[in-house]
């Protein structure tokens, strides 16, 4: 038997969830300023560039391939909320993540990840014993994502 219930996506994500804590300190304006010239990415119709950046952020944090990220967004209510998607809306195909990374560029993506890291670190969500600022990790990760996607 089907049941109908009125819910909001926000009500489905517990206030104690880590994504809520991250969002309180996420450098939204810095991200918007850095991505303002990239509002149109081929194949990203209906997906905002900031939401797509948040997808890349979660993908990096969870160490997911592009295909795994596609599925993660389809199945994870909290991830949909964090990335600014609606509960029943279509989520991006795995092919879009590579396009977005390429459009943003490795250097800019690295600067944005550093901005997020610094904002979260200032609030005590991240503590580092060592800090290595090296874009080669991001480049290597992007290459790994491409290789994983070719194998699947």
For the whole model, what pTM was predicted?
0.76
Nearest residue to 54 (alpha-carbon basis) of 34, 82, 81: 82
- pLDDT of amino acid 131: 57
Q: What is the DSSP string of 37-74?
A: GG---TT-TTS-HHHHHHHHHHHHHHT--HHHHHHHHH
How far apart, in whole angstroms, are the C-alpha atoms of residue 17 and residue 11? 12
Question: Which pLDDT tens digit goes with each residue over 89-99?
Answer: 889 999 999 98
Backbone angles phi, psi at 5, to 5 degrees: -140, 140
pLDDT less than 70: residues of the chain = 39-45, 128-152
Tokens representing 84 are 């600014």
Domain locations in the chain as residue ranges: 9-151
- pLDDT of amino acid 112: 93
- pLDDT of amino acid 127: 72
What's the residue count for the chain? 152
């Amino acid at each position: 038997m089907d049941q109908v219930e009125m819910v909001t996506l926000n009500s489905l994500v517990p206030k104690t969830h880590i994504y809520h804590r991250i969002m309180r300190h996420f450098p939204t304006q810095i991200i918007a300023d850095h991505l303002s010239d990239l509002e149109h990415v081929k194949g990203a119709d209906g997906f905002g560039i900031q939401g797509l950046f948040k997808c890349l952020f979660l993908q990096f944090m969870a160490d997911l391939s592009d295909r795994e990220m596609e599925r993660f967004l389809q199945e994870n209510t909290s991830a949909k909320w964090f990335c600014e998607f609606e509960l029943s809306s279509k989520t991006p195909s795995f092919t879009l993540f590579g396009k977005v990374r390429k459009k943003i560029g490795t250097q800019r993506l690295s600067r944005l990840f550093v901005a997020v890291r610094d904002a979260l670190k200032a609030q005590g969500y991240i503590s580092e014993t060592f800090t290595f600022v090296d874009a080669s990790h991001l480049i290597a990760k992007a290459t790994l994502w491409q290789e994983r996607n070719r194998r699947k």
